[in-house]
Amino acid sequence: MSEFGKAATESKRISARGVIAIIILIIAVIFMAQNTTDVEIKILGFSLTVWLWALILVVFLMGMILGGAVRAGVRKLRGAEKPPK
């Protein structure tokens, strides 16, 4: 196999992390599709009525953003701890 063919094949592989992310996304979409009722949210004296699926989506996205930020922070700290070569 040529170098080009080998590189193309390796780039098309899906990692285990990618498969898990796709499965979680599918489960989240199914969960949102099955929970379409209205819910009332109360926070800091305010009350808001929203669709449950929209609330689930917002919380899911907030979790993804927070998880990415924590992971980036950990990577940065680990990089700072490594002694220079």
φ and ψ at residue 21, rounded to 5 degrees: -65, -40
Give the contacts of 49 (CB within 8 A, at least 6 positions apart).
Answer: 38, 39, 40, 41
Which pLDDT belongs to residue 5?
A: 54
pLDDT digits (tens, 9 = 90+) for 42-84: 989 999 999 998 888 899 899 989 999 998 888 888 886 666 6
How far is the C-alpha of 77 from the C-alpha of 51, rounded, in Å? Answer: 39
| Residue 47 one-letter amino acid | S
How far is the C-alpha of 56 from the C-alpha of 28, rounded, in Å? Answer: 8
> Quick one: average pLDDT of 31-40?
89
Q: What global pTM score does this model have?
A: 0.59
